[in-house]
Structure 1
Amino acid sequence: MGITFQINGVNRVGITHEVIACFAANQIDIIGMEVRPHYIYLKIPTVAPSKVETIMQWIRQVKGIEQVKMIPYLPAEERENRIHTILTTVSEGILLLDDQLRITTINRAAQAMLKMEPVQLLHDSIEKLWGEAAVEVRRCLEEAIEVPSVQVSLLTGQKKRMTYICSYHPIIPAEKSERQGVVIVLRDNKQIQELLSTVQRSERFSFDEIVQQSANMRQCIETAKRVAKSEATVFLQGESGTGKELFAKAIHFESNRSAGPFVPINCAAIPDALLESELFGYEQGAFTGALKGGKLGLFEIAQGGTLFLDEIGDIPLHLQAKLLRVLEERKVRRVGGNKSFPIDVRIIAATNRNLADMTSKGLFREDLYYRLHVIPIVIPPLRERKSDIPMLAQYFIQKVCRATNQPMIPLTHSAIRALQSHNWPGNVRELQNVMERTVYLCLEQEIGAAHLYFDTQQDRAESDQDFSHSTPKLLKEQMDYYEKTILIRALKEHPSIRQAAAYLGISHTAVLQKMKKYQL
């Protein structure tokens, strides 16, 4: 163990030399030493207490010495102990490399992930273990840049190939004179799933949080609750804005998979060229621009949990065949790969389209339709459950008032009648927008019918207060009104967003942007 001294005094030339001479005169070896302004730290082998007292007396006689005391460790040893504790306790795998990319330190977590002992790793070049993937490690060292979240496939000590997510951080001294090495942070799929689960546990959603009091919504919730514990595929059908994703979340968190990830994807919002790689992932070099090490697909990310396929009706036909194969075989093969990976994922699909009609027209595969249409739940539009409108409106008002730290603003009877008379083409999402806008713009102590600001002003209902609605006067208002009308007609007449876009002569992305603009 040894004995460590902390000696402090004035900062003068030669004082350290005189202190060292005290130990030499008493024939005591120094096995460690650190010097900083006003402080000298010395470590010696263990000696008799009487000899310790003698040496301390000698040191106190040196001119300028103010205090001599014993401490447990040298400052460098204390720092090393702290670093060792951190490396031992963190759940991520940590590998420290020197400036030649040789492994100098590896923590327990990394040993467990790689299924290797330190003797198999220490002092070896990372290129021996990482192979071609080590090019990113070398780039980190040579360019002194962080390289986050790189997917690496490695052969473990059990001769089994596994995929890890690695981040590389250069070690740069304070003087920035030369690079000293690289820190590798290693995570395996299990850790990534646990991180997702931790985040989602804080975002848990239950059926009790779906605001409703109508009979048809209660029936939907009862059906969803009954099937939540099963592994059956659930098919949610309803207009945009009715709350299909809320139902999907509630089913997931009510299921036996609630500890696993809930992974949503809007199939209509991703271009065809990217949708396949998003769903199934890809191998390194699968196409130009592919990440080194490849990329996990959403099926693999959702392992042990639920994959929510929103707007399933917008998946192109060539991907429908691959999706059907994955659902039937319970295996997924990445783009550019020749190996299939088993998956353990529950599927919840949703659409605002009539898939049965699309199937009859050859726009959606019949076999995939029946594979997904196991437990159908049709969520009614807001116009068919008007008894829910007052409760929902009050809920959204309370939410905005709480967020803006203002007192609750009540709704008058005339306002409620106006809300219930509106057609609500945007459903609950439109109601939320109307109530948020109304709270921000209303300067009164209560919200009357005249204070409601609907998306389509001509649809505001009559109330106790007689109020009228003028058609848009400004050119921009008229242009927006007609553009919205044309867009609604095109979406009603065509079974998918892509076909509506082709009919209008604009891109699929442009249609999505206009739908967002008009909250369709």
Structure 2
Amino acid sequence: MLNTPRPSELMQLQPTILRFTQMLSAVLKIDAEVVDADLVRIAGTGPYSKFFGKKLNTSSRIFRYILETHEEKVVVKSRTDPLCEGCTNKNGCREMAFLGVPIMIEDRCLGVISLVAFSEESRERIKDNVQLFSDYIKHIAQIVVSKVVEKNSNSDGLDEVFTNLIENMDQGVLVLDENNRVKYGNQPALNNLNITQEALHSIEINIQPLSLHNNEMKGHQQHIISLGGRQELLVGQFYNAHGHQLFLMAFHQPNSALMIPDHEPQFATVIGECSKMRQLKKLITRIASSPSSVLINGESGTGKEVIANAVHNLSDRSQYPFIAINCAAIPDQLLESELFGYVKGAFTGASTKGKTGLIQAANKGTLFLDEIGDMSMTLQAKLLRVLEEREVMPIGSNKAVPVDIRIISATNRNFQEMIATNKFREDLYYRLNVIPIHLPPLKEREGDIALLINYFLEHHTQKIGVTYPGISAEAMRRLNGYHWPGNVRELSNLVEYLVNVVPEGDPIDVDLLPPYFEQTPEASSPQELLNDDCSMSLEEMEKIRIEEAISRLGNRKMVAEELGIGIATLYRKIKKYGLSNHRAA
């Protein structure tokens, strides 16, 4: 009868060591492996996440070196290291870098904990953080070693090992039970939450992802942590270990003093807690159920369609279509057919089946007409008839179709000037402007920039599929001090750019901001100069604004989008103001 070898001391703790190894890999974002003194794999991640309990089948020169010398070994350039010479697996080896630490009890080596890089990015992470990673692994090894002898036949103390590991992590960690109640938090977590260990057990704590629509996404996300009657916004991720759920907090956290955005579904994307936005939300709530027309006025990029959507979602029409169309983006002859539709054979090139117009498609719902001020006088007359008669006449038809719609329109134009110069019908204006809503520019929304930055960081990291980054205090200060001529749209575009260029694991700092953020908030900006000169004409202000946007964006299409005008209109204004020599693609 063959004698079965007794499992090594590390193999007797294999479930615990495997959990520690997986956690180590998740925190450091490097694959990890643990072998015992007989070169038997105890735990591992990535390519080493299988064949536990099996002896390594390669020459394992580096492991043997650590086991024999009891010293750690770092290899940042594989194949050229002296230990790799003569290795039978040298040509087929995929390891690009290695950091191994012995697991020691007095003068006896129980095994090796190692980090292994399989990509150039991981190799650079090991190379740039050798001492930090080494200290981290040594600490884990000490915790395991301190308990390994007494744990050979007794599993009752595993929780103590687990708690010791978490307590000594630099990363904030909360431990939740099967009912998602918080059982324990280490000191960094308590510091992030501004709470004591005693208070942690005496109040109800709830953790919810900020983006409720995508709580299955892996990696760091923003979470709302409710502590009794208080809420904090923290970045972290959930991780299953040792029969519990861990909430691992990211090292870079948003400003804990931020107010949590309103999470009522109808206001999910209406981000803002300044006094003007709070008043706006109250107004939307009051007028949402009315059938009366709404006219939203505000600068380009302030989010007029977002407000229109909120009105629709709060109304009795929310189960029916919300149809949006930009009147400035479609040529006049096409806009008529888009809005009113046409019958078979109505004009040359018309579809043989005819077409249902957007007004008819929005029946029982809401029709949102953005940039209504760009609509021609002819179409204005037809739209007025729709509002008065509540019926639409498709092109080429002699039969009107009844419609039940609510019209919400938006503009950044001055209607009084347009009416005075016969560019907009006064009777239509009064029909559209039954309930006026003014959307303030971003520069007037004190305190909302930080909220919007964190909202767009969450939105764009989810969309792109990258890790949520932090943002430094100085970068936030500069963003808060900027005048935002492109309003919320400009802020969203900038955050999307920053999310794409920030190195993974790093916070967004001032060195990533575009050059025009180098000036301090106290320095004079073009917008401030405009505010200081009350005698400046509208044309002079328009010229300076276009000039500033061209200089900053360098792309005429982006300039036109930011200013809320068509590209052809932009070219006319560039020629009018003699800006042709300014560089813009």
Question: Using a 3 Å threshold, how does the CA distance of structure 1 residues 460 and 338 change in structure 2: closer, same or farther?
Answer: farther
Name the structure 2 match of 1:429: 489
Which structure has the larger Rg over C-alpha atoms?
A: 1
* Cα deviation code 1:96-139 (max 9, x no counterpart): xxxxxxxxxxxxxxxxxxxxxxxxxxxxxxxxxxxxxxxxxxxx
Summarize the alignment of residues 255-274 of structure 1 with structure 2, pairs less than 5 Å apart. 255-274=315-334
Name the structure 1 match of 2:375: 315
CA offset at residue 492 of structure 1? 12
Amino acid at match of 2:326: N
Q: TM-score, normalised by structure 2?
A: 0.45
Question: Using a 3 Å threshold, how does the CA distance of structure 1 residues 478 and 210 change in structure 2: closer, same or farther?
Answer: closer
Are 2:508 and 1:450 equivalent residues in the alignment? no
Please give the alpha-carbon distance, in whole angstroms, between the structure 1 residues aligned to 2:298 and 2:350.
36
Question: Using a 3 Å threshold, how does the CA distance of structure 1 residues 249 and 493 change in structure 2: closer, same or farther?
Answer: closer
Name the structure 2 match of 1:368: 428
CA offset at residue 403 of structure 1? 3.8
Selected match of 1:462 from 494, 517, 520: 520
Alpha carbon RMSD of aligned pairs, Å? 3.5
Question: Using a 3 Å threshold, how does the CA distance of structure 1 residues 419 and 332 change in structure 2: closer, same or farther?
Answer: same
Please give the alpha-carbon distance, in whole angstroms, between the structure 1 residues aligned to 2:548 and 2:472.
31
CA offset at residue 408 of structure 1? 2.6
Amino acid at match of 1:279: L
Please give the alpha-carbon distance, in whole angstroms, between the structure 2 residues aligned to 1:479 and 1:353.
19
Please give the alpha-carbon distance, in whole angstroms, between the structure 2 residues aligned to 1:424 and 1:255.
32
Question: Using a 3 Å threshold, how does the CA distance of structure 1 residues 243 and 491 change in structure 2: closer, same or farther?
Answer: closer
Amino acid at match of 1:232: S
Name the structure 2 match of 1:349: 409
Please give the alpha-carbon distance, in whole angstroms, between the structure 2 residues aligned to 1:370 and 1:268.
21
Question: Using a 3 Å threshold, how does the CA distance of structure 1 residues 425 and 402 change in structure 2: closer, same or farther?
Answer: same
Question: Using a 3 Å threshold, how does the CA distance of structure 1 residues 413 and 461 change in structure 2: closer, same or farther?
Answer: farther
CA offset at residue 502 of structure 1? 5.2
Name the structure 2 match of 1:234: 294
Question: Using a 3 Å threshold, how does the CA distance of structure 1 residues 416 and 349 change in structure 2: closer, same or farther?
Answer: same
* Cα deviation code 1:183-239 (max 9, x no counterpart): xxxxxxxxxxxxxxxxxxxxx961243111111111111111110011111111111
Q: TM-score, normalised by structure 1?
A: 0.51
Question: Using a 3 Å threshold, how does the CA distance of structure 1 residues 385 and 482 change in structure 2: closer, same or farther?
Answer: closer
Name the structure 2 match of 1:222: 282
Name the structure 2 match of 1:305: 365
CA offset at residue 505 of structure 1? 6.9
Does 440-449 or 220-229 show the bigger shift?
A: 440-449
Task: Report the identity percentage.
Answer: 45
Question: Using a 3 Å threshold, how does the CA distance of structure 1 residues 411 and 502 change in structure 2: closer, same or farther?
Answer: closer
Please give the alpha-carbon distance, in whole angstroms, between the structure 2 residues aligned to 1:404 and 1:339.
49
Question: Using a 3 Å threshold, how does the CA distance of structure 1 residues 406 and 215 change in structure 2: closer, same or farther?
Answer: same
Question: Using a 3 Å threshold, how does the CA distance of structure 1 residues 448 and 279 change in structure 2: closer, same or farther?
Answer: same
Amino acid at match of 1:212: G
Question: Using a 3 Å threshold, how does the CA distance of structure 1 residues 502 and 451 change in structure 2: closer, same or farther?
Answer: closer
| 2:407 aligned counterpart, secondary structure | strand
CA offset at residue 241 of structure 1? 1.3
Question: Using a 3 Å threshold, how does the CA distance of structure 1 residues 415 and 277 change in structure 2: closer, same or farther?
Answer: same
Name the structure 1 match of 2:396: 336
Amino acid at match of 1:462: T
Summarize the alignment of residues 167-316 of structure 1 with structure 2, pairs less than 5 Å apart. 206-316=266-376
CA contact (8 A) 1:304 1:344 kept: yes
CA contact (8 A) 1:314 1:497 kept: no
CA offset at residue 285 of structure 1? 1.1
Please give the alpha-carbon distance, in whole angstroms, between the structure 2 residues aligned to 1:263 and 1:416.
36
CA contact (8 A) 2:392 2:400 kept: yes
Please give the alpha-carbon distance, in whole angstroms, between the structure 1 residues aligned to 2:384 and 2:478.
46
CA offset at residue 504 of structure 1? 5.5
